[in-house]
Amino acid sequence: MSTIRFDGKIAIVTGAGGGLGKAYAKLLASRGAKVLVNDLGGDFTGQGSNPGYAEAAAADIRAAGGIAEANGDSVADTKGATAIVQQALDRWGGVDILVNNAGVVTSNGSLSDVTDESYAIDLGVAAGGTFRMMRAVWRHMMDKNYGRIVNVSSGSFFGMGSAVPYPAAKGAVIGMTRGAAVATDFLQRNIKLNVIMPISWSRMTALMGPEIESAMQRDFPPERVAPVVAWLAHEDVPCNGEIFTAGGGRFARVFIGVTEGYRGTTKDISVEDVRDHFEDAMRIEPFTIPKHALEEAGMHESSVDWSTFFQFIA
């Protein structure tokens, strides 16, 4: 089998001043990509800024023989996201790969203690930043009919105690990735978007305590996630709109399925019907993995031609 390369490709990796983002940027650059290393340089709660983080990571890549430049703009506002993409366009003439890795954690306590401000910051960086960066590259990728976007979600989406803002932001990343992937499939564009749920040591793992953080550093270094991200960013990646968990030398598909459930003899069901057939709805098998929301809607018996709704995709 041939070696996987990214020669001639231009990549942007957000939140790449250290940890996972830096590992992604270094691997892409080592395989031939030109990489714009973006990092605001704040702490993991989103406070402060320091362009030195991005500059040091880019310097490390160049010292290893790669091509990289630094960017210290914030993905948390439209001006910053636009500037990040424009720098890659001005310097290298395009953007082929976008890895949306930037994220923060501002609250880790009881739901009742989460402030509006911390919720907005979490959503504004992980979800809002992903949206703004995708929007900033979208027309460019559509016009040249090529692009690879890897969006970073989290296993916290499955539930993480009462720390609601971070899982909410990471769940939103899945939703927008799936939506955009459906659009590129329908429009037959060679743009593929997929999601990674990394299990890895990062600055955020300090919240778990010293023992867990030490084990994470040992068993789940960022470099064991980077190969999966690189494959999802490659021109030969076969999937679009999929989700993968990766860490510690393992990777696996994550999917959202819909069970067969219960269908009444008539289209009207009562509360008692729901009670009496709740176990039918809860059974895991058989199930379907819908390609999009309209396919899921079609699982309900109806005369509606759901396929006509695709005319609204642009």
d(CA 306, CA 302): 9
- Catalytic center residues: 166
Residue found by looking up tokens 């949306």 in the block: 100
Cβ neighbourhood burial of 148 (10 Å; 0-12, 13-18, 19+): buried
- Find residue 287's DSSP bridge partners: 259
| 80-83 long-range contacts, CB within 8 A, separation 24+ | 80/132, 81/129, 81/132, 81/133, 81/135, 81/136, 82/136
The three-class DSSP label of residue 84 is helix
Q: Are 222 and 22 in contact (CB under 8 A)?
A: yes
d(CA 135, CA 120): 20
The three-class DSSP label of residue 289 is coil
DSSP one-letter code for 283: -
Q: Are 206 and 163 in contact (CB under 8 A)?
A: no
Which of 236, 232, 261, 234 has its CA nearest to residue 245?
Answer: 232
Q: What radius of gyration do the chain's Cα atoms show?
A: 21
Residue found by looking up tokens 């023992």 in the block: 211
